[in-house]
Amino acid sequence: MIDLHRLRLLREVHGRGTVHGAARALGYSPSAISQQLAVLEREAGTRLLERVGRNVRLTAAGEVLVRHASVLLEGVEAAEAELAAVAAGRVAGVVRIASFQSAFIRVVAPAIRRLAGTHPEIRVEASELEVEQAAPALRLQQLDVLVGDEYDGQPRAVHADLRREQLLREQIRIVLPADHPEATAERVPLVNLRELAWAACQPGTGHREMTVRVCRELGGFEPDVRYSSDDFLILLELVRTTGAVALLPDLVIGAGGERASGAKQVRHEPGIAVRRPAEGEVARGVFLLTRRTRTPAVAAVADALTAAALLEPPEPTP
C-alpha cells in the first residue's frame, strides 16, 4: 500500500525540482527524503523520479502519482473531518494553527476563546511558527491554518494550492525613548535617529530586512542594529531600558491597525514614545492561509480568526 506521507514528499520534490530544495523547505535532510522516496518506489513497484543534471523530474509513473496525490490527501482529510463530526453530532475535529508572535497574542488566542463557546467539539492546537517554516508544513497537511505577515516591499511566495485572505493591515511605527528630543514631534524624521542604537529581529528575518531597508530607503543611512531578538516584547523593552529605537507594528504596541471599524488605539507605555516616520508610511499585512479545500472545522476556525481580527485590541493593563 502506498504511504500518504511519502506521497506528500514526492509532490514537494516535484514542485521544488530538487531533493535538496524539498529538504530545505520541509526541514528534512536530503538523505532522509531520498530514503523515503526509495521506499515509495518499492511500494509503487516502479521508478518515480529520474535525474536531469542537478534536478530531478517525474517519470510517467511519478506523474500519475502526483496527479492523484492532492485528491487522495484532501479526500482523507475530508473523511476524517466528517467522521469526527458524525461522532460528535456537530462540527468537530482537530485544527492545527501556526502564527507569528504578535498575531498569536492579539488574534489567535481570542479566536480560540471564541471557538470554545461556539464550537466546543473542535480541538485547536496552536504553535508559534514563522511563515517560512509553517507554509511547507501547511502544504504537507502537517498544519491546517497559518496566520502570517508580509511587509510592504517584501512579498511572500504565492502557492497555487493554498487559499489566502487578508485579516488586517497595520502601520509600522517608530518606537523611541520617551525622553528623546524627537519624541515631542508627531512625525519623526528617520534620519534624525541615525546615531542611535537600533533593536530588530535576528538576521534573515522579515523584520530585520524591513528595518534595514526602511532606514536605507527613507532615512538614507545604515542602522546600527545593536540588539537582536525575535521576541517583539523584548524589542519593546530594549527601547524602554537601553534607549534604543525600533520599528514595530501596531499589534506589538497595541494600535488597532486598519480594521472594519476604522478605529485606532495606541497604548501609552511608560518610558517610550510611538510616532510615525516623517518620510512616509510603512505597513505590513496580516493574512490567513489554508489549503484551498477547507473542512467544516477549518472553515469555522478561519471565521473565528477573521472575527478576532476585526475586534479592537484590549485596553492596556495599568
Report residue 54: phi and psi, to 5°.
-90, -5
- Residue 305 has which C-alpha cell? 480568526
Average pLDDT over residues 268-292: 90
Report residue 127: phi and psi, to 5°.
-140, 150
Considering the chain, what is the average pLDDT of its residues? 85
The predicted structure's pLDDT at residue 78? 67
Top pLDDT among 225 and 32 is at 225
Cα separation, 229 vs 201, in Å, equals 5
Cα separation, 245 vs 260, in Å, equals 30
DSSP 125-157: EEEE--HHHHHHHHHTTS-SEEEEEEETT-PPP
**pTM for the complete prediction?**
0.74
**Considering only 109-113, 158-162, 190-194, 255-259, which range has the smallest mean pLDDT?**
255-259
Q: How confident is the model at residue 79 (pLDDT cuts 50, 70, 90)?
A: low
Strand partners, 56: 51
Q: How confident is the model at residue 123 (pLDDT cuts 50, 70, 90)?
A: very high
User: How big, in percent rounded to 5, are the helix, strand and coil portions of the chain?
Assistant: 45, 25, 30
Query: Is the pLDDT reported for residue 112 higher than 50?
Result: yes
Cα separation, 126 vs 94, in Å, equals 11
Question: Residue 222, exposed/middle/buried by CB under 10 A (0-12, 13-18, 19+)?
Answer: exposed
Top pLDDT among 239 and 8 is at 239
Give the three-class secondary structure for 307.
Answer: helix
Q: How confident is the model at residue 151 (pLDDT cuts 50, 70, 90)?
A: very high
Query: Is the pLDDT reported for residue 257 higher than 60?
Result: no
Cα separation, 22 vs 235, in Å, equals 33
- Residue 28 has which C-alpha cell? 528534512
